[in-house]
């Protein structure tokens, strides 16, 4: 197996450490049109009956969330011929095609979460027969989670710049050609338990309003493909797809 | 025709008007089952049709269901007297290992609006839980939901267990990764990609 060895870089990174970032209330917000897209799909034209419940649901969702990110940088020592990123720890990750780049220096393993309070509130609303309110609140939660992932990526990009590196686009288990089973590896690479996120035997994260993803930190800027998430997704006929 | 007004009020997503017209019709002496079947349930069938046509979306389905349920709440004391029977009994749940329930809740709601008795097991329901509920409720149908490829396999395991234990309800499956081909492969009797479609499938299965 021919390996391309990655050059040493001058920035020393403590790879043992999982870094936790807790966001202040109001740091993450949801755009109403995004909430509507997650509730009803991208073809939906907003109904005037949504004018009152929509902002209230967003405000309630913000109040119920405790946004937090944990990430860990793992040094990449090689990219093998099969497209696997070999890490200093000995673990290796089969990266999606578009992420196989020999300039990768670090792999950031990330888990972010809104906490469990919002989904518990949705469940209570459902038990009370208030399904519309439950689904609206859940859609607001999805939008907030998406915003948290974007914010997390911004922070990683800043960290990368501080290391004279470039952050790639997030990619994760179950997306593009990355198998869902990679989730187990991701959870070995970062201490998600530190932010009370666990993985069940079906690889579902609990709380459910959590996201996991990898980001490559590279010596050269080499984002391949579109940066808008929906345009990078394989599900071309998804009803929630942005930018139709 | 006031039954048509009930039908229209549900489609207009107007809870208060639906309840008012249902009450007015009851006061007028209109048959309870006629109000239920030709007014309220028929309106929800139309909602399902409009969803399939891309005219209505999830918000309209939910608001129409709320209006319909307001109407049913007005009818409720009279339904007991009319000895109204459900169209069938359905046990529904999200399978073992899966915590997602939004889609399942939507399907349960539409099935109730169509006149089925729904026994909702919630999430993370293993095969044994489906079996016990089906037996206890004398279910006509067991309906399963899964949102992930890693949890879909539990559907096949549940169907196998139901058959092995001699339990004979029909089975139907749904959820984002589920397809007709998968449903056929695991021996499910029905599959639907969406909530209104699930009502059509359920009606077909109880008619057999």
Can you give the pLDDT at residue A46? Answer: 73
Can you give the pLDDT at residue B47? Answer: 96
Can you give the pLDDT at residue B85? Answer: 86
Q: Which helix (H) or strand (E) holds B141?
A: strand B141-145
Distance CA A165, CA A103 (A): 10
Q: Establish if A12 belongs to a structural domain.
A: no
DSSP A31-88: -HHHHHHHHH-TTPPPPGGGTTHHHHHHHHHHHH---EEEEEEEEEEEEETTSEEEET
Distance CA A190, CA A18 (A): 6
Q: What is the pTM of this model?
A: 0.87
Q: Establish if A240 belongs to a structural domain.
A: no
- Separation in Å, CA of A30 to nearest CA in chain B: 18
Q: What is the CATH number of the domain that holds A213?
A: 3.40.109.40
- Contacting residues of A for B65, CB less than 8 Å apart: 131-132
Can you give the pLDDT at residue A9? Answer: 46
Can you give the pLDDT at residue B69? Answer: 93
- Interface touch A200/B149, C-beta < 8 Å: no
Tell me the domains of chain B and their CATH numbers. Answer: 2-81 (1.10.1240.10), 89-207 (3.40.50.280)
Q: Establish if A238 belongs to a structural domain.
A: no
Can you give the pLDDT at residue A36? Answer: 92
- Contacting residues of A for B97, CB less than 8 Å apart: 200-202, 204
Q: What is the b/e burial string over B132-147, where b = at least 16 CB atoms within 10 angstroms of the residue's CB?
A: ebbeebebbbbbbbbb
Can you give the pLDDT at residue A208? Answer: 94
Can you give the pLDDT at residue A222? Answer: 66
Written as six digits, the tokens of A5 are 């060895």
Q: Establish if A7 belongs to a structural domain.
A: no
> A49 in contact with B at a CB cutoff of 8 Å?
yes
Closest residue in B to A126 (Cα–Cα) = B105
Residue numbers of chain B with a pLDDT score lower than 70: 1, 81, 83
Q: Establish if A50 belongs to a structural domain.
A: yes
Q: Which helix (H) or strand (E) holds B91?
A: strand B89-94
> Is ipTM beyond 0.95?
no
Can you give the pLDDT at residue B59? Answer: 92
Distance CA A112, CA A106 (A): 19
Can you give the pLDDT at residue B35? Answer: 95
- Separation in Å, CA of B62 to nearest CA in chain A: 5
Domain of A214, in residue numbers: 18-232
Distance CA A222, CA A166 (A): 8
Picking from B182, B177, B180, the residue whose alpha carbon sits closest to that of residue B197 is: B180
Burial of A222 (0-12, 13-18, 19+ CB in 10 A): middle
Q: Establish if A22 belongs to a structural domain.
A: yes
A157-169 confidence digits (pLDDT tens): 999 999 999 999 8
- Contacting residues of A for B148, CB less than 8 Å apart: 174, 180, 202-204
- Token pair 């497209």: residue: A83
**Would you say B200 and B87 are in contact if contact means Cβ atoms under 8 Å apart?**
no
Residue numbers of chain A with a pLDDT score lower than 70: 1-16, 222-229, 231-237, 239, 243-244
What number of residues does chain B have?
208
Count of domains observed in chain A: 1
């Amino acid at each position: 197996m021919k390996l391309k060895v990655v050059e040493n870089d001058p920035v020393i990174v403590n790879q043992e450490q999982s870094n936790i970032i807790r966001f202040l209330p109001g740091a993450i917000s949801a755009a109403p049109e995004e909430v509507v897209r997650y509730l009803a799909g991208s073809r939906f034209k907003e109904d005037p009956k949504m004018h009152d419940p929509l902002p209230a649901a967003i405000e309630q969702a913000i109040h119920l969330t405790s946004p937090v990110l944990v990430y860990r940088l793992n040094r990449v020592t090689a990219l093998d011929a099969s497209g696997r990123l070999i890490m200093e720890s000995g673990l290796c990750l089969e990266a999606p095609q578009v992420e196989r780049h020999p300039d990768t220096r670090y792999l950031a393993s990330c888990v972010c979460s809104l906490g469990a309070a919002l989904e518990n509130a949705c469940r209570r609303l459902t038990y009370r027969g208030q399904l519309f309110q439950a689904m609206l609140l859940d859609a607001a939660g999805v939008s907030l989670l998406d915003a948290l992932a974007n914010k997390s990526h911004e922070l990683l990009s800043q960290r990368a710049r501080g290391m004279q590196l470039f952050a790639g686009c997030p990619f994760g288990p179950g997306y593009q050609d990355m198998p869902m089973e990679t989730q187990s590896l991701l959870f070995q690479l970062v201490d998600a338990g530190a932010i009370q996120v666990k993985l069940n035997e079906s690889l579902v994260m609990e709380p459910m309003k959590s996201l996991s993803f990898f980001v490559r930190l590279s010596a050269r800027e080499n984002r391949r493909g579109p940066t808008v998430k929906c345009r990078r997704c394989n599900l071309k006929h998804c009803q929630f797809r942005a930018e139709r | 025709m006031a039954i048509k007004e009930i039908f229209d009020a549900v489609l207009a997503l107007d809870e208060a008007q639906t309840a008012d017209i249902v009450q007015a019709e009851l006061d007028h002496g209109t048959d309870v089952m006629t109000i239920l079947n030709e007014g309220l349930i028929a309106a929800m069938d139309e909602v399902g049709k409009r969803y399939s046509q891309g005219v209505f979306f999830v918000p309209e389905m939910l608001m129409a269901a709320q209006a319909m349920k307001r109407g049913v709440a007005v009818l409720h004391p009279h339904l007991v007297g009319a000895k109204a029977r459900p169209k069938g009994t359905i046990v529904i749940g999200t399978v073992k290992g899966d915590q997602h329930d939004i889609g399942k809740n939507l399907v349960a709601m539409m099935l109730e609006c169509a006149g089925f008795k729904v026994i909702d097991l919630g999430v993370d329901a293993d095969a044994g839980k489906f079996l016990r509920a089906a037996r206890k409720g004398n279910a006509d149908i067991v309906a399963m939901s899964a949102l992930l490829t890693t949890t879909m396999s539990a559907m096949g395991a549940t169907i196998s267990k139901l058959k092995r234990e001699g339990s004979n309800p029909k089975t139907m499956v749904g959820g984002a990764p589920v397809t007709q081909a998968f449903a056929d492969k695991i021996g499910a009797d029905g599959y639907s990609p969406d909530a209104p479609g699930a009502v059509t499938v359920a009606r077909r299965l109880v008619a057999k």
